Amino acid sequence: MPVEIKICGLTNRDDALHALEMGADYLGFILYADSPRGITARKLSEILDRSEEITNAVGVFVNSSAEDVRAIAGDCALRGVQLHGDEDADAFSDGTVPLWRAVRLREGKCLPATELWDVDRFLVDADVPGQYGGTGQLADWEAASELAMKHRVMLSGGLTAETVEEAVRQVRPLGVDVSSGVETSPGKKDRNQVRAFIEVAKRAVPDDH
């Protein structure tokens, strides 16, 4: 089966619809004001409003309260909620929406620890001190590969059309996530890069071993 593809850091309707048209499985929207790709819940609602095409939106949150996350997820009919900060697992244990947990790999260990979280999948990102993601740095593919043998994993961190095929081969993830690797500037996607990334990722073949 082809890997699943998430185009993340979308900030406008045109880019979202183009990613969908090219074959993206998920569209990621960052609900975090300090991100250069961050949008408000109101803006997300406007992007999704009256769009029957977009049924695969994932909201990315950093240290938002569980109550706010649930409210936005319900109002915007989010397909998934991705937690990228220092959230408490117990606060998000009610299972109201498919939960994705971002983790960083440091010296082969997951931060936060995977056993604390009951989630639909883990999103592996680069470990950059003081940053919650979106750095364009590569994740630890070797450690990510080991994690992917035990859990459903989306691989993120500095992926591009030039690197995604090798990443899929080595890590064997459920899916891949890209943001800065398909942009002309933070939050503005390059259509040629989006198309190329999706085409390469869809035909990438994981290593069997």
- Residue-wise DSSP of 143-209: HHHHHHTTS-EEE-SS--TTTHHHHHHHH--SEEEESGGGEEETTEE-HHHHHHHHHHHHH------
How far, in Å, are 1, 11, 36, 148, 154 from residue 128 at the CA level? 31, 24, 16, 21, 18
DSSP 105: E
DSSP 77: T
84: left (phi over 0), alpha (psi -120 to 50) or beta: alpha
**Which is catalytic among the residues 8, 110, 140, 177?**
8
DSSP 65: -
How far, in Å, are 107, 122, 123, 125 from residue 110 at the CA level? 9, 10, 11, 10
125 is catalytic: yes
110 is catalytic: no
26 neighbors 6 (Cβ within 8 angstroms) = yes
**Which is catalytic among the residues 125, 127, 140, 177?**
125
Active site residues: 8, 125
